[in-house]
A = this chain, B = another copy of it.
Amino acid sequence: MELDNVVELSLLYDFYGALLKEHKREIFEDYILNDFSLSEIAAEKGMTRQGVYDIIKRSSKELRLYEEKLSLVHKFQMTKEMVNQIQSLAKEIGGYNENVEKIQHISTKILDEL
């Protein structure tokens, strides 16, 4: 799978993965997050390579549908970008100011948690 897709799907999975059925989650994780091949997963699960492929396709479609309906990944990304701007602006401010220190601290905390 192309790297762009892996990045996109990892992000979607991070948000909506918990909505996939257990069986789909295991296979999706093995393929997208743990980088096993279709054949390796097929052997491990006692399935055909095509069966594994279908599950990954269907899971990807399901995750994309959640984002299409909810746009929460997009919303989070926008917020993250703006908090990044705040952090940079706070860092640029010279001299010591307690509030500016706190703003830096809080923005770092938000970025760690998002």
A15 to B97 Cα, complex, angstroms = 37
What residues on B are CB-neighbors of A42 within 8 Å? none
Contact of A113 among B18, B69, B79, B106 (CB under 8 A): B79
A69 touches B19 (CB 8 A): yes
A99 touches B110 (CB 8 A): no
A70 touches B106 (CB 8 A): no
Contact of A19 among B70, B102, B110, B114 (CB under 8 A): B70
Tell me whether A99 and B109 are in contact in the complex, defined as CB-CB below 8 angstroms, given that A18-B70, A19-B66, A70-B19 are known contacts: no
Q: Which residue of B lies closest to A89 (CB)?
A: B99
What residues on B are CB-neighbors of A103 within 8 Å? 86, 89-90, 103
Q: Which residue of B lies closest to A91 (CB)?
A: B99
Interface residue ranges of A68-95 to B (CB < 8 Å): 69-70, 72, 75-76, 78-79, 82-83, 85-86, 89-90, 92-93
Which 3 residue pairs spanning A and B have beta carbons closest together?
A: A18-B69, A89-B99, A93-B99
